[in-house]
Chains A and B, each alone.
Chain A
Amino acid sequence: MAAKTDNETIIELINKQINGELTSEEQVVLEDWLKNPANQMLYDRLTDKRLILKKRFEYDEYNVDKAWQKVNKRISPKLNIRRWISYAAAIILPLALFYVVYQLSEVPQSNTSPMAESIQPGQRKAVLVLSDGQQVELSAADTTIQTHAINIQIDSLGAHYEGGAGNNEQRYNTIQTSRGMEYSLKLADGTKVWLNSESSLRYPENFTGNTREVYASGEVYLEVTKNKEKPFYVHFNDKRIKVLGTEFNVRAYPDETEDLVTLVEGSVALSAANDEVVLKPNEQATCRANKAIKVNTVNTTLYTAWKEGRFVYRDAPLEQIVNDLARWYDVEIFYQNKGMKQERFSLNTNRRANIQLILEALELTETVQFKVSGRNIVIQSVN
């Protein structure tokens, strides 16, 4: 098979072909590319004059300005409504009744319930996007991916980057998980990373340069290799964690109002727009828009249980539990009674359990009811 011709070259050649400017050498390259029937089909589509005119009308259907307004609102820090909610929550919490589900040390894993048959727990899967844009689906199968500078070993434990020497270029890869997926990998410096569902991490194939910088979204747990000469930075939203050698969890889902950084071991410095804190082990930083960073001491197990394959919650709001279930089992949640969101529950189960069993366990508190239909779950209060 001939080496893959660069996309940019193809674009240029096709444009020249359309304009009648193609040289005979370029003609040869283009014809070679067209030997692949998929490419030929694409080419026919792109040069079909009728389709091109139709495309013009299609583009008009997508209103850029309206869409921009929507996206701009989404990415801008949210304002006062958050403050109101936090005051309201402060009043509601003391009044809320705390329910404790009996500790389930092991929820049986047999799939006996027919209703939840289509709903499966998450799997070890991810999509790896290389620096040249090529994507690879990662699952447990053993393979090796070779890029310019580096070998990436894939096996049932995840992806391992074997550091290449010398090459000064920092090429960035991205690992992405969707709902229903989790993954783990080892970066070129030995740093271990675990990704929960709907998460991503951008990182260099090889850590050249004076710093090690990665970019995270969603929920990731990192065990960073100590290197005093090369501080490790994790960027998420518009914040940054500086790390020398340590284990910590970052939870920064775009659809949640707070970002949480939980330190298990070592030391990290977290900087946000107007604030900076240094965390000690067992401390957790809570970041909310337009508010100072709050630091609490916590039981880190609650925030790192996912990495060990468990759901562990103690007096956690239903909303949080249910959001995590939704991402892991890839289901949609609807609240018939929005007040249920702040009801508190405790839970301790295996992540691979049938979701029906977990829902039943929560229902034992006689506070909440779940109705499952396909991939949709409706949450009702018991009244």
Chain B
Amino acid sequence: MKQAFHITQDSFRYLFKKYYQPLCAFARQFVSVRDVCEDTVQDAFASLWDVRGGFKEEKAVKYYLYNSVRNKCLNVIRHNKVKEKHLNELALPTVDEGVIEEGVFAPIYKALLDLSPQECKVMLGVMHGHTNQDIADDLGVSINTVKTLRQRAYKTLREKLKGIQWLLLILFG
């Protein structure tokens, strides 16, 4: 009758794989220590497992997780604050911002995964306006390697990312 998103072992795993990294990145905007962020997100998922009924759709679960992580992070900050400064919660991201960031960034990240870390580093170098020599020195490889990596990256992106044209512009540039 009513559509519902049932959280089972399988769907829970799916949610975890999909949202773990974005949620950690979201938490990192509150707390700078990586381990604490990861623990917080893991706690949020564990809580989700406890109250796992009644979600209409995946979107509702996503909001639940973002809210849960945000609350836990605020708690961490309140706990550890030395000065009141940190508690200006207006300066900290809202759930809406986290959700928007995840929505915009997810397809891009997925596409970028097709680039090797080296190719990514080359692109970063290009965008910073470094010369091929600079990049080569930075990565500890030869200039030719850098040129090859650039070409490969361009080829991958052109094949895999039809829409993200500005990435191609960078590579051209």
Contacts and interface: CB of A to CB of B under 8 A. Distances in A.
Interface string B18-52: 00111011001000001001100110011101111
Contact of A254 (B12, B13, B46, B163): B46
B52 to A, nearest CB: 7
A49 interface: yes
B77 interface: no
B53 A133 contact: no
Interface string A200-217: 101010000100011111
Contact of A11 (B2, B25, B45, B100): B100
Which interface class (under 10, 10 to 19, 20 to 34, 35 or more) fits A?
35 or more
A280 interface: no
B24 A62 contact: yes
A257 interface: no
A250 B143 CA distance: 67
Given A75-B46, A178-B75, A216-B51, A46 B104 contact: yes
B56 interface: yes
A148 interface: no
Contacts of B96: 7, 133
Question: What does DSSP make chain B's interface, helix, strand, loop or mixed?
Answer: helix
A112 B117 CA distance: 59
B42 A71 contact: yes
Nearest to A203: B54
Give the top 6 A-B pairs by smallest Cβ distance, nearest first: A133-B63, A11-B103, A19-B163, A217-B50, A62-B24, A215-B51
Given A71-B45, A213-B53, 13 more contacts: A7-B96, A7-B100, A59-B22, A59-B24, A64-B21, A70-B42, A127-B67, A172-B56, A176-B68, A179-B75, A217-B50, A252-B50, A254-B50
B123 to A, nearest CB: 6
A34 to B, nearest CB: 12
Interface stretch (A50-58, A102-110, A299-307, A357-365): A50-58
A49 B127 contact: yes
A156 interface: no
Contacts of B60: 131, 133, 172
Contacts of B154: none
Most buried by A among B13, B38, B55: B38
B20 A42 contact: no
B100 A52 contact: no
Contacts of A297: none
Contact of B54 (A19, A21, A49, A204): A204
Interface size class of B (residues with CB under 8 A): 35 or more
A253 to B, nearest CB: 9
A348 interface: no
Contacts of B42: 67, 70-71, 74
A296 interface: no
Contacts, number: 169
A56 B109 contact: yes
A235 interface: yes
A172 B55 contact: yes
A66 to B, nearest CB: 9
Contacts of B136: none
B27 to A, nearest CB: 10
A40 B73 CA distance: 24
A375 B47 CA distance: 24
Interface in A10-58: 10-11, 14-15, 18-21, 38, 42, 45-46, 49-50, 52-58
A216 to B, nearest CB: 7
Interface in B91-114: 95-97, 99-101, 103-105, 107-109, 112-113
B100 A170 contact: no
A8 interface: yes
A53 B67 contact: no
Given A53-B124, A64-B20, A75-B49, A20 B54 contact: no
A215 B99 contact: no
A174 B120 contact: no
Contact of A215 (B21, B54, B105, B163): B54
A18 B103 contact: no
Contacts of A75: 12, 46, 49
B165 interface: yes
B20 A49 contact: no
Contacts of A70: 42
Contacts of B124: 50, 53-54
Contact of B163 (A21, A55, A60, A133): A21
A132 B166 CA distance: 33
Contacts of B67: 127, 129, 133, 135, 174, 176
B47 A200 contact: yes
A45 B105 CA distance: 11
A238 B5 CA distance: 16
